[in-house]
Copies of this chain bind each other. A is one copy, B any other.
Amino acid sequence: MNSTIETILNHRSIRSFEEKPLEKETIHTLIEAAQQASTSSYMMAYSIIGITDRKKKEQLHEVSGHPHVLNNGHLFIICADYHRMTYGVSEEAKEDMKANLENSEHLMTAAIDGALAAQNLAIAAESMGLGMCYLGSLRNDISKVDEILNLPEYVSPLFGIAVGVPAENPEKKPRLPQKAVYFENEYQDHEEVIRAFNDKISDYYASRSSNRRTDTWSDQMLRRFRKPIRMDVTEYLHKKGFNKR
């Protein structure tokens, strides 16, 4: 196994960091790594905003609720971005562009472009011995994050990434068995595999060193899905020009 695959397989989300801000050079390298990811039709449909301002960090912390939004080596926010495609474009041409700018296909594409870049950033950070954690929780109040970042039309926050020197060493969290995730040639129903995984995960939760509980993966999902969350994202996206047709 080479060291890159070792880094990838060794991933665990880090939620507690030492008080050491990332060097400018490190940030530059992480952005460079992010940008080298593949991008659909050369669109590079994302922007990355680094937060250094303490007041903004506090506001974002209020949205997310997670302490590692406030305390980290650096906080990145990945945004879907088609704004720069409209630079220097006539009003008439912009009207023509709207069918694409505003359809579901292009929302998905920007989310994918942004995530590919983000994962390059994550792996690059981990390869340097840094830790990281994604922050979907910034979408708890997506309009507020938009306001904090002062985002124009056709730009929307996707998620954050907290990066820094790890101050914890959590256990690796089990993943679904390969048989539940990888199929050949067509989709295969895998209810039995999930049932077996629930038994395994229930042992994991009962025996781990902290935050022990009785739980299964399916129960966890059921609880999560039964409580509607972030229903305002739809309306927010429409306001920004996304996902309207």
Interface residues of A, Cβ cutoff 8 Å to B: 1-5, 7-9, 11, 13, 27-29, 31-38, 40-44, 46-53, 56, 79, 84-85, 87-89, 93, 96-97, 99-101, 103-105, 107-109, 111-112, 114-116, 118-120, 122-124, 127-128, 133-134, 136, 139, 148-152, 155, 158-159, 173, 175-176, 178, 180-187, 189-191, 194-195, 217-218, 220-222, 224-231, 233-234, 237, 243, 245
Whether B8 lies near A33 (C-beta < 8 A) is yes
SS class, residues of chain A in contact with chain B: helix
**With the chains together, A156 CA to B123 CA distance in Å?**
27
Query: Residues of B contacting A28 with CB < 8 Å?
Result: 178
Across the interface, do B49 and A237 meet the contact criterion of CB distance under 8 Å?
A: no
The reply to whether A105 and B229 form a contact with Cβ atoms under 8 Å apart is yes
Task: Knowing A105-B234, A115-B119, say if A226 contacts B97 (CB, 8 Å).
Answer: yes
CB-based contact B149/A186 at 8 Å: yes
A176 / chain B contacts, CB cutoff of 8 Å: 35, 44
Are A224 and B41 in touch, CB under 8 angstroms? yes
Docked Cα-Cα span, A165 to B38, in Å, equals 18
Residues of B within 8 A of A158 (CB): 108, 112
